[in-house]
Amino acid sequence: MFATSPRLRATVLRVAQSIPVVIGVVIISFLLTRALPGDPAVYFAGVAANTESIEQTRVAMGLDKPLIHQFFVYVGNLLQGDLGQSLTSGRSVATDLAKRLPASLELTLTALILAIVIAVPLGVLAATRPGTWVDHLCRVIVTAGVSLPTFFTGILLIYIFYYLLGIAPSPLGRLDFIYLDPDHVTGFYLIDAALMGDWETWRGAAKQLILPATTLALFTLAPIARMTRAAMLTALSSDFIRTARAAGLSNRTILYRYAFRNALLPVVTTLGMVFSFTLGANVLVEKVFAWPGIGSYAVEALVVSDYAAVQGFVLAMALLFVALNLVIDLLYTAIDPRIGFSSK
């Protein structure tokens, strides 16, 4: 894949480019939490605190020091993996995030995979058969997907599959209380359970996951399907498709090897965008399904001005986005041979 050196160089450069972004993210997440309204010292000192004890807390937390000094302390702690102490949970923020981030990621990734598996073939079919029932179905699903908010589809799905039909388990968290949590390896219950060979737990986790994942998938399906359809239509009307047809290549080769690979580029871009806004949309779905994810954690922390937790959340999300963009760019390099030359 990286046989030619310009592409390898572009890849290395791209990875190097994300380092200043990470530094920027650290600075901004620090400043952002300092800019939040409210005085953390007042909260930390407790309800019964007087001016004196608040001041003591302030000194104890290092908040009396100049901002630049606080920043270096923060970075120093960060380098040791210390994100501070959460006020609400009483645990360290790093522990909380390690527990909750995989929950959100498992939900988001499952939803995204589900959406891709449905939306991409749907878009391809709609593009190859414009004006037929597949095309119309695609349009209906796309319209429904964008117009129905996730909290609504979530509640509707719970109503139908849990309340009316009774086939779904109660929408409370990642695993029913009758199962034990699998050993923590990756934090993804499906993977951890499979690693243990505990298929009973695996099924339990999958059952819990299916409704929230479907809810999110319905929402993310729309842009992916629409972009796939548009990109395929553009690719199929290109000159090189005519060349391939005139050379007698089979429809399958033309469709997949020629049109689809070229259509992938805009689809991958859309996937990156969809992934980021799905992480945002997560909050509502997590609330509806009592999913112990990072979204609900952040909202709770924000409400009580738990600034270490908020700071940790912002940092984690930002790093996730940086990593995501990096992956998307590297995917681009893998798909499009022209990229290695155009990047500086």
Partner 1 sequence: MSAMLSVKDLAVSFQTRRGEVGAVKGISFKVSKGEILGIVGESGSGKSVTSYALMRILDAGGVIKAGDATYSGIDLRRSSERDMRDIRGREISMIFQNPRAALNPIRKVGNQIEDVLRHHSRATRYDAKAKAIAALEAVKINDAEARYNAYPFELSGGMCQRIVCAIALACDPRLLIADEPTTGLDITTQKAVMDLVRDLIRERNMSSILITHDLGLAAQYCDRILVMKDGVIVEQGDPVQIFSNPQHSYSRKLVDATPRVGTNVRSLLPPEDRGDELVPVVSDRPLLEIRDLTKTYTGKSGPVHAVKGISFTINQGQCVGLVGESGCGKSTTSEILVRLMDATSGEIIFDGEDIAQVPANGFAKDGRRADIQMVFQDATDSLNPRHTSRQTIAEPLRRLGKMRGAKLTARIEELSTLVGLPLSLLDRFPHQLSGGQKARVGIARAVALEPKFLILDEPTAALDVSIQAVVLNLLVDLRAKLGLSYLFVSHDLHVVRLLCDHVIVMKDGEIVEQGPSQEIMSNPQSNYTKTLLAAAPKPPARRQAN
Q: What are the residues binding partner 1 (CB under 8 A)?
A: 130, 237-240, 242-250, 253, 257-258, 261-262, 335-338, 341, 344
Spatial separation of the C-alpha atoms in residues 87 and 302, rounded to whole Å: 11
Contact status, residue 136 vs residue 122, Cβ threshold 8 Å: no
Q: Which residue, 25 or 134, is less far from partner 1 as judged by CB?
A: 134
Residue 342 CB, nearest distance to partner 1 (Å)?
10
Q: Which amino acid belongs to residue 303?
A: V
Q: Which residue, 90 or 344, is less far from partner 1 as judged by CB?
A: 344
Residue 227 CB, nearest distance to partner 1 (Å)?
18
Q: Which amino acid belongs to residue 52?
A: E
Q: Which residue, 39 or 135, is less far from partner 1 as judged by CB?
A: 135
Q: Which residue, 178 or 344, is less far from partner 1 as judged by CB?
A: 344
Contacts of 53 (CB under 8 A, 6+ apart): 45, 46
Q: Which residue, 131 or 197, is less far from partner 1 as judged by CB?
A: 131
Residue 126 CB, nearest distance to partner 1 (Å)?
14
Q: Which residue, 195 or 331, is less far from partner 1 as judged by CB?
A: 331
Q: Which residue, 170 or 243, is less far from partner 1 as judged by CB?
A: 243
Q: What is the DSSP string of 60-97?
A: HHTTTS-HHHHHHHHHHHHHTT---B-TTT-SBHHHHH
Residue 78 CB, nearest distance to partner 1 (Å)?
37
Residue 245 CB, nearest distance to partner 1 (Å)?
5
Instruction: For the beta carbon of residue 170, count every other beta carbon within 10 angstroms.
Output: 13
Q: What is the DSSP string of 273-338?
A: HHHHHHHHHHHHHHHHTT---HHHHHHHHHHTT-HHHHHHHHHHHHHHHHHHHHHHHHHHHHH-TT
Residue 139 CB, nearest distance to partner 1 (Å)?
18
Instruction: For the beta carbon of residue 92, count every other beta carbon within 10 angstroms.
Output: 17
Residue 142 CB, nearest distance to partner 1 (Å)?
22
Contacts of 293 (CB under 8 A, 6+ apart): 100, 101, 103, 104, 107, 282, 286
Q: Which residue, 18 or 238, is less far from partner 1 as judged by CB?
A: 238
Residue 331 CB, nearest distance to partner 1 (Å)?
13
Contacts of 203 (CB under 8 A, 6+ apart): none
